[in-house]
Amino acid sequence: MDDHFNVSITRDNLVDSIKLYNKGRRLLKQLEDIRCRPEVGITGTEAFAAAVAGTVMPREEYTMHLNDLLEGLSQSKNNVADGKKRLMTIGSISDDIDLIQLIEEDTKAVVVSENLCFGVRYEGNEIDETDDPVKALAEGYLGESTCPRMYGKYKDRLAILKEAIEQAGVEGVIMQNIRFCDLHGSENSLFERDLEAIGIPCLKLEREYGPLVEKGRVRMRVDAFLERIA
Amino acid sequence: MRPEIKEYNYDWMLWRILDPASRIADGSLKELDLAYRYVPYFKGVLDPLLREGLPGRLFLKMINTYFENLHTAHAKGKKIAITTFCFSPAICYALGVVPVTLEPLTALGGLMWKRGTFDYLDYACEMGFTETSCSSQRGALGAYLAGLGEEIDFLLCDTPGVCDTNANAFAFAAAFLDKPFYQLNYPQTLGDNKTDNYHLADYKEMIRFMEDQSGKKLDLDRLRQVLDEVDKQDELISDLEDMQRLIPNPLPPMYNLFNYVGRFLFAGMPEYTRLLKSMVDKAGENASAGRSGLRSGKEKRRLFLCYIDHYSLNWNFWQWLDDHGIAHMGSILSRGFRDNVCYTEDLEGSTYSVDTSNIDTMIDSIAQMNARLPMVRSIRGPYDQPNMWLDESLVMAKVFQADCIIYNGTPGCRNTWGMVKPFAKEIEKHGYPVHIMYSDAFDDRIESWEATRERLDEFFKIRGLL
């Protein structure tokens, strides 16, 4: 990268960047904790939008806005979860904020937790700030088990989900994957088998990538799922 | 799954067909004709094999022995491991483990039954494995997920990063069946010291895993025995590949299948050596007489398959080649990449050697050999990276004097479908007509053999090849 982009990536640059991104991760963890409370001050749509923004915005600016959002939420008396089913969304890559909006728009449900590639899954993957930065990054990205691409770690990922479900009082899990993502597609089936076995209702939703290209079909399936858990 | 399919295990049904078939092969023509009256549907399966003479008969016997080993493994105190065609089973035999190589087992179902492995392909999806996954694993895997196969003890694979779709099949099966699983990881380069050392360290760790699972320590004498057998096999494969360069090619089209099915099921075992020896002898006779391996004796065109063959009922694909006078110049599956082969001069770092001097050289040899199995050698990095799929295909086409190149795979194969069009355009620039088959090599419901055949006819006609 140094050669190709004619830049100099120094140890200090890397350490600073790791610290900055870790700060964002910790803020996202705070956001997740807020969503776990019985009274939730932010919709799943808003929280997901905040998480997705982190994948495209300049990091310093993003961290500042995320900080502001959390300060506002700490003073908020709002409860968007009142009388609604508490849902979790998991699965493959999705930057489709409309999908979460569709789940929440009929006012029967609120998404209080998630484990998506572009969502707050990322906060669980904090990089060591004390080690050699390249080694720490390699260990962070290759040693963590949060993505099904890291084969042989299914039980670890199931344990993470179960913990999040318990903490957030989740009453149903919507598992989405983009068609042809076999990694999430097949792992979602294993999650479905094991979560249903302990009484957690699950909906498996395979879909095309894009801004709700299948809105009618997805809505019908989400409605049916909400009827099931009502 | 249909209830009648659940009555018997998949691997047991294959064995029950192959066992009498391999005995029939020793009978007289009169006995054979009589047998066909009772099994008319299998005439199309058996006849093309028997027409190949001794190699066809030895192929049948080898597969039969494989299933016999599988079905008697547990009674003999041996463990059974699911693995992939990208992984050499030689280490399994060195440790007394019986390999279940999913892809050839799926292919056998497609070649022997009109229903193919459809029920098992679908059952895997019923159990949650994605329908967009690769059918090459999914067919046989469906049977093992359904408990319609010998009990599996553990799983081995070596494709993460090279083909995540393949690797995911093994990861899913391990979680679904709750069995231990080991994955070898491959860097995207090959032949440099760093990569070689990585392969070696990872492979040693896998041996420790296999020792734990099998309850047996790696016996050095047994490992040497297996590698000596591999050495003989490599020599014979090299002889076959040398002869394949001749015009006309003295190898019948089906020899390619015999070659790689043997390697994926029986590398390092004498059954495979015997088969190869018979193939070399027969091809040598043809070569001495200047005869083509085709039944017609007239070679019209030379075809290189840059990926895999098509496993439709009754060996339809190979029969079609034979009927049209098209010599099979090999595929990604049939290349060995031993250091004595004729096509690696322009593919730097692509070969391995076998050195049985001591334990370190033996493990290094087997690790390097394993890193050069199909896909994990040729498609471990971008297709146009030096010495990878594009370069390799061009070298093969040149060395074996191919007239055209065909791509065939499965719709689930993102590893190749993701790049096959730019790949084909590049190949065409070098003057080789390329046909991309849209069928599924393991599932005739995606495109019937009849439709596939029409498209093959069309390609050869439109491009002026026939």
Q: For residue B166, count other CB atoms closer than 10 A to its CB.
A: 27
**Rounded alpha-carbon distances, angstroms, from residue B386 to B191, B345, B348, B349:** 12, 13, 9, 10
Q: Which two tokens stand for residue A84?
A: 């609604």
Is the predicted pLDDT of residue B381 greater than 90, yes or no?
no
Which structural domain range is residue A76 located in?
A: 2-229
> Considering only CB atoms, which chain A residues are within 8 Å of B168?
148, 151, 182-183, 186
Pick the CATH number of B5-193 from 2.60.120.590, 3.40.50.11890, 3.40.190.10, 1.10.630.10: 3.40.50.11890
Residues B411 and B379 sit within 8 Å (Cβ to Cβ): no
How far does B68 lie from chain A, in Å, by closest CA? 31
The region of weakest confidence among A135-149, A214-228, B3-17, B133-147 is A135-149
**In this predicted model, what pLDDT tens digit does every residue of A186-205 receive, in sequence order?**
999 999 999 999 999 999 99
In three-state form (DSSP H/G/I as H, E/B as E, the rest C), the secondary structure along B17-52 is HHHHHHHHCCCCHHHHHHHHHHCHHHHHHHHHHHHC
Q: Is B266 helix (H, G, I), strand (E, B) or coil?
A: helix
Is the predicted pLDDT of residue A171 greater than 90, yes or no?
yes
A178: confidence class by pLDDT, cuts 50, 70, 90: very high
Residues B177 and B152 sit within 8 Å (Cβ to Cβ): yes
Average pLDDT of the residues of chain B: 96
Q: Which amino acid is at A134?
A: V
ipTM of model? 0.93
Give the mean pLDDT of B182-195.
92
How far does A66 lie from chain B, in Å, by closest CA? 34
Say how many CB pairs under 8 Å bridge A and B: 54
> Which pLDDT score is estimated for B164?
92
- pTM for the full model? 0.95
What is the torsional sign of CA B69, B72, B76, B80?
positive
CA distance B198 to B186: 8
Q: Tell me, yes or no, if A196 comes closer than 8 A to chain B by beta carbon.
A: no
**In this predicted model, what pLDDT tens digit does every residue of A2-44 receive, in sequence order?**
999 999 999 999 999 999 999 999 999 999 999 999 999 999 9
Decide which of B349 and B65 is more confident.
Answer: B65
CA distance B260 to B286: 21
Is the predicted pLDDT of residue B342 greater than 80, yes or no?
yes
CA distance B324 to A116: 53
Give the mean pLDDT of B94-117.
97
Strand partners, B404: B303
Residues A184 and A92 sit within 8 Å (Cβ to Cβ): yes
**In this predicted model, what pLDDT tens digit does every residue of B254-282 receive, in sequence order?**
999 999 999 999 999 999 999 999 999 99
How far does A151 lie from chain B, in Å, by closest CA? 6
Is there a contact between B172 and A186 if contact means CB atoms under 8 Å apart? yes
Give the mean pLDDT of B166-170.
97
Is there a contact between A182 and B412 if contact means CB atoms under 8 Å apart? yes
Q: Is B215 helix (H, G, I), strand (E, B) or coil?
A: coil
Give the mean pLDDT of A114-140.
89
What stretch of H or E contains B311?
none
CA distance A196 to A202: 7
What is the DSSP code (8-state) at residue B74?
A: G
A145: confidence class by pLDDT, cuts 50, 70, 90: confident
Q: Under an 8 Å CB criterion, which residues of B touch A?
A: 127-130, 132-133, 160, 164-165, 167-168, 170-172, 174-176, 181-183, 412, 414
Q: Which two tokens stand for residue A135?
A: 């080694």
How far does A221 lie from chain B, in Å, by closest CA? 18
Domain count across chain A: 1
> Which pLDDT score is estimated for A218?
92
CATH number of the structural domain spanning residue A39: 3.40.50.11900
What stretch of H or E contains B100?
strand B97-101
Structural domain spans, chain B: 5-193
Which residue matches tokens 């998404």?
A111
Is the predicted pLDDT of residue A123 greater than 80, yes or no?
no
Is the predicted pLDDT of residue B125 greater than 90, yes or no?
yes
Which residue matches tokens 């949650």?
B128
Is there a contact between B130 and A152 if contact means CB atoms under 8 Å apart? no
Q: Give DSSP secondary structure letters for chain A.
A: -HHHHT----HHHHHHHHHHHHHHHHHHHHHHHHHHSSS-SS-HHHHHHHHHHTTTS-HHHHHHHHHHHHHHHHH----TTTTSEEEEEEES----HHHHHHHHTTSSEEEEEEEETTTGGGGG-PPPSSS-HHHHHHHHHHH--SSTTSTT-HHHHHHHHHHHHHHHT--EEEEEEETT-HHHHHHHHHHHHHHHTTT--EEEEEE-SSSSTTHHHHHHHHHHHHHHH-
Is the predicted pLDDT of residue B445 greater than 90, yes or no?
yes
Is there a contact between B168 and A151 if contact means CB atoms under 8 Å apart? yes
Q: Give DSSP secondary structure letters for B353-403.
A: ----SSHHHHHHHHHHHHTTSTTTTTSSS-TTSTTSHHHHHHHHHHHTT-S
